[in-house]
Copies of this chain bind each other. A is one copy, B any other.
């Protein structure tokens, strides 16, 4: 007899496989249509089997955030891995060298210190790696400023043994805004991208890979002619922030937490058995929804707050009657943060549990 979602204890992360497969196919088709290489960021799911599914659906390789995530993916047979994060420190560089001896690896970086450290560590071990120089197009996180210092860093990279300068990485993360506010940001990003291309061409360092990130910004990549590779992550599952950004609909959210109502003692409220240790405390950054998640069975309920193991449902606007013991499904605000709190996720087709995946990359913080 097949396992069903009714056999799962709560809280549990449930992935609707039909929705997820449609999400994979849609992004792959978008990239084919727009002649973009797709290099999905696997930090969203951290499951090697899903990374393989992304490659089967047309990805050219994968993106990870940390050396530890790259090790998990490489051990599972993935290849052509971009670490979209500065690899700093001798311990990480040593592990990166071991990876680079077995797999095609790329790193993004924005400092001479990172470049010098990686070059020295890889060269002494006979390994080599591709490098993207990260450039700040407005998000203000990592990335050198557009101008002489970007060229100086690229030249420095090109001069070092074991490093090959391949292009640039940008993060249009400021695209995580309400759909209606996106147009001026797209215009700004397009102008910056053109400046970057012109700058590097003039310096005799033509950009081969121009990598841009994020699921919310993916749909507008067609309007960014410089970009030829994208690194969306969230699109495989989607979440309330993606809905709010206009990059997907509620029906495209593949992943929910299955929870149980554990208390209805306080008038006007109900408590579910998932709080910040199930969902994370990540707030909504986009859209019209409110609170810490969307109750599929009762859109009028507001997830008004979290404690570690309690999710507070404010029922003042809801006509629904809640009872202790019943189950609900909740779309999280930020699915990447939720997945990172779980050791397993359950892939379901209808109510049948078809597969259980280990979140093998979870906790690989170094």
Contact = CB atoms under 8 A, between A and B. Distances in A.
Contacts of A136: 265-266
A9 B92 contact: yes
A147 to B, nearest CB: 12
A240 interface: no
A236 to B, nearest CB: 15
Contact of A337 (B144, B276, B366): B276
A281 B12 contact: no
Contacts of A111: 263-265, 324
B324 A114 contact: yes
Contacts of A281: 280-283, 337
Contacts of A166: none
A260 interface: yes
Contacts of A114: 262, 324
Interface stretch (A25-33, A73-81, A308-316): A308-316
A307 interface: yes
Nearest to A312: B141
Interface string A126-156: 0000000010100011111100000000000
B263 A366 contact: no
B324 A342 contact: no
Interface of A: 9-12, 43, 65-66, 85-86, 88-89, 91-92, 110-111, 113-114, 117, 134, 136, 140-145, 173, 260-267, 269, 271, 273-274, 276-278, 280-283, 307-310, 312, 323-325, 336-337, 340-343, 363, 365-366
- Closest 7 CB pairs between A and B? A113-B324, A110-B265, A9-B366, A281-B281, A86-B262, A142-B263, A9-B91
Nearest to A343: B363
Given A111-B324, A324-B86, A278 B11 contact: no
A191 B240 CA distance: 42
Contacts of A89: 9-10, 260, 325
A366 B11 contact: yes
Contacts of A85: 262, 273, 309
Nearest to A13: B365
Given A114-B262, A140-B266, A308-B336, 15 more contacts: A10-B89, A11-B366, A65-B308, A65-B309, A66-B309, A85-B262, A86-B262, A141-B266, A173-B307, A274-B365, A276-B282, A309-B365, A340-B341, A341-B365, A342-B365
